[in-house]
Amino acid sequence: MTESPINIAYRIETDRLLVRCWSPADAPVLRAALDESDQHLRPWIPWMKDEPKSLDETAAGLRIKRATTIWARISGMPFSTARSKR
């Protein structure tokens, strides 16, 4: 197995901003955002055709994406942004 040529930080935080990978614990927030924006996002985001999903399916999807990304050497790491709590 060869080393990945890309080293991507799992978490980047400044005084005002937090950029990090989605976690299965974020499923409720992601689920609410997707449900609220469903009609707006559906025409533009291909995977929205598979929505709506349950909270458990959303969490499972985040677990799968994280595991797949780690093992596939950072091929589409899902990140979220939030205000920093510093």
Q: Which two tokens stand for residue 31?
A: 């689920």
Give the per-residue pLDDT at 11. 82
pLDDT at 9 over 80: no
- Mapped onto helix, strand or coil, the DSSP state of residue 47 is helix
Query: Helix H segments across the chain?
Result: 27-41, 55-71
Query: How does pLDDT run across 13-60, given as a tens digit for each residue?
Result: 899 998 888 889 999 999 999 999 988 888 988 888 888 899 999 999
65 confidence band (pLDDT: 50, 70, 90): confident
Q: Distance between CA atoms of 19 and 65, rounded to whole angstroms?
A: 17
Give the per-residue pLDDT at 76. 55
